[in-house]
Chain A
Amino acid sequence: MQRLLCCGLLCLGLSSSLLADWRQFRGTDNTGLSPEAATVDWSGEQELDWSAELPGRGLSSPVIVGDQVIVTACSGPREERLHVLSFSAKDGSRQWERQFWATGRTVCHPKTSVAAPTPASDGKRIFAFYSSNDLVCLDLDGNLLWYRGLTYDYPNASNSLGMSSSLLVQGDIVVAMAECDDESFTIGLNTATGETSWKLDRPRKANWTSPSLMTAGDKAQVLLQSSAGVAAVDVASGEVKWTYADGAATIPTLVVAGDVAYVPSNGLTALRPGTSNPAVPEIVWQEGSLRPGTASPIVFGDGVYVINTAGVLTKASLTDGSRVWQARMKGPFSASPVVVGGKMLCVNEEGVSQVIDLADEGKTISTHELGETVLATPSVTADGIYLRSDGHLWKLRLGE
């Protein structure tokens, strides 16, 4: 009986360590950095650990929860089948798969697909989101907990080129952006039931950026970037705390480091929440020459890094945005970079993953050809880097 009880306790405690996971787009805190992987001792040489076949297309990033690698995909002639899959992080074996029928529009530009948004997890649940605005909540064993069809609810929430905003989960709220030319909104749903906690009308303009987390004291805020600028929204209440209204890009997403958000706006703009007037953020600096292409900027150490449409990586000073160095990589890039062991991993659209030495002015340490188109941002934990294409999921080994 004691052994049985122990098993029960273990089962109840299945939710994994937050620090070991990579739970949403660009990591648990949306920075592109894993607290453990950022400092891991890695030479930068790329070695394939395992690969697994995927049943359909997708450019969402994998998310990692404990030993599980969660991936979304879509299939069918109109990409109306929505897949959620779980693989073992150790050996890539498939643990389970669930499929659903899209309830919203699945039309997309041929380059993208319905499985574009990255799923998210709170360590106990998985939230999978698609261009059709279907939002599926499963437990870690693949059991359905709830389902929402946001285009089913709001029929003009769609984009004929496809939507790609990833989810953000914080506390007991999962935030989904459904921002487009017509019925445009961002919604906060209760993680336990999928019921609507709040809903914000948003600018009626197509938007492919993702929500980003910023902590303000003991409150979590989600930064929503759009053509209008940036809105900081209290995650729990949906209340808008401050806005920056000087416009912003609709593809690359801002990155937060400490209390500063580096926003693709007028080049790159560093914003800090206002102190004298909390409704108006302080512009720390603006640098017009820093123009992110599709890939989002990333902050590491004393620099903010930007990849432009020509595949040129620029390191700029966090203090004032001035250029520190530039390096040309083999582009073009849709995937955003991540930093592992002090080195940057960038994967271009041709599936060439390039490890860049940030301590040596962007010198290329290694390249690895995956042999397939890759548009998805890599995901990282302390023991591996996870990459996906339309057909495969790969793990690159880190360390011994």
Chain B
Amino acid sequence: MSAMLRFLLVTILLCCTGRTFAAEPAELISRITAVESRGVGNAVATAAVKELESTAAPADLVTILGAMNTADPLAANWLRGAFEAAADRATCAGMSPVAELEAFVRNRANTPRVRRLAYEWLLKADPEAETRFLPTLLDDPSSEMRRDAVARLISQAEQQEGTAALATWKQALSGAVDKDQVKKIADALKKAGEPLDQVQHFGLIVDWHVIGPFDNKDLKGFPVAYPPETEIKLDAEYAGQLGPVTWQQLHSDEADGAFDLAKLTEPHKGAVDYLFTEFEVAQDQPVEFRLGTANAWKLWVNGQLVFAREEYHRGMQFDQYIVPGKLKAGTNTILLKVCQNEQTQDWAQRWAVQFRVCDETGKAVHSLSKSGAR
């Protein structure tokens, strides 16, 4: 018997016996979730995911979903690959664990996007499940689930008239977090004579203490720690780019909540401004800080640098940056550094920022104190 023939026979034997010689799913999952950034642990995870994909039984699907709950975003994708391969096989064989998937979806303690994944595979096996779930999703922790419920209400409102339509639009608004859906609802409410305050709905902060300009000629100001980075004294005076500078309290009336420094102060070039506010919440909580800006920026929360980005004039979009973070119960401080460069093109004059705090679905978190700024 040739070496090749022996190899093939062993391969076929292993395939036929399935999990007899394979590691248990929990062990394989553990090897996969040990994967780290920058490719660390990839070789071990590659072998484990291959084995899990080929050996996972329908009964293992919910186990894999459960592991995704606590996996970091990278490991969650590795597990998703294994899950989809096994789920594909189970669906084709008519062996999807429908009851277990439904129970997983109903349990809101599970991670929102993993519940959504389970929901979509549930629908492949049981399309009728959508009818059972849709009416219950308007306040779902998953933004995608919520989006489906909002879409259903928008369709319903479009078929209605008068007060019935208005009530449905308002109901849809209560769950809407995505900008395209909010815009559609806002347009309808405006036609009905009840315009929506989108600044309030999205929780955009339009009141800030501002100080500047500090020097950013030749892009030198981004790494420089000007005094507001080391102390917040709202009555202090510092040497600025063009002379002494002091904190001013400013308010933006822009409909999109943009805090336009070029308009509110001066359209300085090669300049740095700092924005400061306090933000009060009742309890410790994870949040997302979401920004839109065409300028380089740094963000500190409670004195800790959360993120820094040195990019200029690649457009300004709603929720352009999403930065996960935490707020503590009580008063939190938020400091933004917003840098303008010296480009002269028409499209490179914007010096503004849209900033809001929200939960992971994009639903606004409002400060308990008025308008965020003190």
Which A residues, 242 to 274, have Cβ-Cβ distances below 8 Å to chain B?
Answer: none
Interface-centre pick from B43, B76, B81 (highest chain A CB count, 10 A): B81
Contact A160/B314 with A100-B77, A144-B82 known, Cβ cut-off 8 Å: yes
Answer whether residue A194 sits at the interface, using C-beta atoms and an 8 A cutoff: yes
Q: Which of B43, B77, B81 meets A103, CB within 8 Å?
A: B77
Would A152 and B73 count as touching, CB distance under 8 A?
yes
Docked pose: A28 CA to B236 CA in angstroms: 63
Would A148 and B88 count as touching, CB distance under 8 A?
no
Contact digits for B33-67, partner A, Cβ 8 Å, 1 yes 0 no: 00001110011011001100110000000000000
Q: Which residues of B contact A99 (CB under 8 A)?
A: 80, 84
Contact A181/B39 with A149-B73, A192-B46 known, Cβ cut-off 8 Å: no
Would B12 and A4 count as touching, CB distance under 8 A?
yes
Q: Which of B46, B84, B113 meets A146, CB within 8 Å?
A: B46
Closest to B54 in A: A143
Q: Which of A4, A107, A159, A193 meets B42, CB within 8 Å?
A: A193
Would B46 and A109 count as touching, CB distance under 8 A?
no
Would B50 and A143 count as touching, CB distance under 8 A?
yes
Closest chain B CB from A183 CB (angstroms): 9
Q: Which of B53, B113, B180, B309 meets A144, CB within 8 Å?
A: B53
Q: Which residues of A contact B80 (CB under 8 A)?
A: 99-101, 144
Answer whether residue B100 sits at the interface, using C-beta atoms and an 8 A cutoff: no
Closest chain B CB from A160 CB (angstroms): 4
Answer whether residue A96 sits at the interface, using C-beta atoms and an 8 A cutoff: yes
- Segment of B129-137, B165-173, B238-246, B315-323 in the binding face: B315-323
Docked pose: A263 CA to B259 CA in angstroms: 42
Answer whether residue B126 sits at the interface, using C-beta atoms and an 8 A cutoff: no
Contact A153/B46 with A100-B77, A107-B320, A144-B82 known, Cβ cut-off 8 Å: no
Closest to A160 in B: B314
Closest to B73 in A: A103
Would B315 and A146 count as touching, CB distance under 8 A?
no
Answer whether residue A371 sits at the interface, using C-beta atoms and an 8 A cutoff: no
Would A161 and B314 count as touching, CB distance under 8 A?
yes
Report how many residues on chain A are interfacial, defined by Cβ distance under 8 Å.
44
Closest chain A CB from B322 CB (angstroms): 8
Total A-B residue pairs with C-beta atoms closer than 8 Å?
118
Docked pose: A8 CA to B9 CA in angstroms: 10
Would A98 and B81 count as touching, CB distance under 8 A?
yes
Would B311 and A147 count as touching, CB distance under 8 A?
no
Main secondary structure of the interface of B (DSSP, over half): helix
Q: Which residues of A contact B322 (CB under 8 A)?
A: 105
Answer whether residue B8 sits at the interface, using C-beta atoms and an 8 A cutoff: yes
Q: Which residues of A contact B42 (CB under 8 A)?
A: 146, 148, 193-195
Docked pose: A98 CA to B78 CA in angstroms: 12
Docked pose: A372 CA to B312 CA in angstroms: 33
Q: Which residues of B contact A143 (CB under 8 A)?
A: 50, 53-54, 81, 85
Answer whether residue A54 sits at the interface, using C-beta atoms and an 8 A cutoff: no
Interface-centre pick from B12, B77, B147, B321 (highest chain A CB count, 10 A): B77
Answer whether residue A114 sits at the interface, using C-beta atoms and an 8 A cutoff: no
Contact digits for A76-118, partner B, Cβ 8 Å, 1 yes 0 no: 1110000000000000000010111101010101000000000
Contact digits for A142-170, partner B, Cβ 8 Å, 1 yes 0 no: 11111111001101100111000000000
Contact A153/B5 with A99-B84, A144-B78, A192-B46 known, Cβ cut-off 8 Å: no
Closest chain A CB from B296 CB (angstroms): 9
Q: Which residues of B contact A182 (CB under 8 A)?
A: 309-311
Docked pose: A193 CA to B43 CA in angstroms: 5
Q: Which of B43, B53, B74, B321 meets A147, CB within 8 Å?
A: B74
Docked pose: A182 CA to B144 CA in angstroms: 31
Closest chain B CB from A43 CB (angstroms): 41
Answer whether residue A180 sits at the interface, using C-beta atoms and an 8 A cutoff: yes
Closest chain A CB from B74 CB (angstroms): 5
Docked pose: A152 CA to B37 CA in angstroms: 7
Q: Which residues of A contact B312 (CB under 8 A)?
A: 181
Answer whether residue B283 sits at the interface, using C-beta atoms and an 8 A cutoff: no
Q: Which residues of B contact A76 (CB under 8 A)?
A: 144
A-B contact pairs, 5 of them (CB 8 A): A142-B85, A143-B54, A146-B46, A155-B307, A193-B46
Point out residues on A near B: beta carbons under 8 Å.
4-5, 8-9, 76-78, 96, 98-101, 103, 105, 107, 109, 134, 136, 138, 142-149, 152-153, 155-156, 159-161, 180-182, 189, 192-196, 206
Given contacts A149-B37, A156-B310, A182-B311, 11 further A-B contacts (CB under 8 A): A101-B76, A103-B73, A103-B77, A107-B317, A142-B84, A144-B49, A145-B50, A146-B45, A160-B311, A181-B312, A195-B43
